[in-house]
Amino acid sequence: MSNQKLNWYNTKAFRENPLICAVQIILMKSRLPVLFCIFLFVLGCSKDNQAVPSIKVKSFTGLVPPGGDFNAVLTYSQKNGNLSGDTLFIIRHRYNQKPVPPNNQTTDTFNTIMPVTPSSNSAEFSVSLTYSNIHIDNGENDTIDFRFVLKDMNGKLSDTAVTGKIVLLQ
């Protein structure tokens, strides 16, 4: 191609389809503003930099006798995080087919405020629940699991950590 500027209007394609070629030329010239708008859209939709907490079950008690305690060890991690003042929700999920007696005043959700701890990106902590708080007396062994969700001071919820099945002996 020579040093001359290409005359778009003096081409065979333009002579045969002038309307289509004129639209293509207009769109080609507006390519930079369109790319700039797409860049701003992607930048505006990017995630914020606040990290959400993450918890995992490291170990737990699988069989709890009458008078015993359920214990679980959880690991926590959050970028620039701190457990102090966060809320831990514990949700009991029952597998038993037999319904709960109607006069039983138990709840399936427990929550607790985490104590003051040193700032750390990761930590390990334990949860302990007494047999009398988690067992529902319906004449059979209870089969349950627990689900743990951590809510930090900024209102961010962690993923749900789930234990395996736990048997509460009668």
Residue 103, exposed/middle/buried by CB under 10 A (0-12, 13-18, 19+)?
A: exposed
Q: Can you give the pTM of this predicted structure?
A: 0.67
pLDDT in tens, 11-54: 676 667 766 666 666 666 667 777 788 888 887 775 555 678 88
pLDDT in tens, 56-88: 999 999 999 999 999 999 998 888 777 788 899
The secondary structure of the chain as a DSSP string is --SSPP-GGGSHHHHH-HHHHHHHHHHHHTHHHHHHHHHHHHHHTSPPSPPPPEEEEEEE-SEE-TT-EEEEEEEEE-TT---TT-EEEEEEEE--SSPPPTT----SEEEEEPPP----SEEEEEEEEEHHHH---SSS-EEEEEEEEEE-TTS-B-PPEE---EEE--
Residue corresponding to tokens 């007396």: 137
DSSP 49: S
Q: Where in the chain is the domain with CATH 2.60.40.2550?
A: 54-168
Taking domain 54-168, whether its CATH number is 3.20.20.100 is answered by no
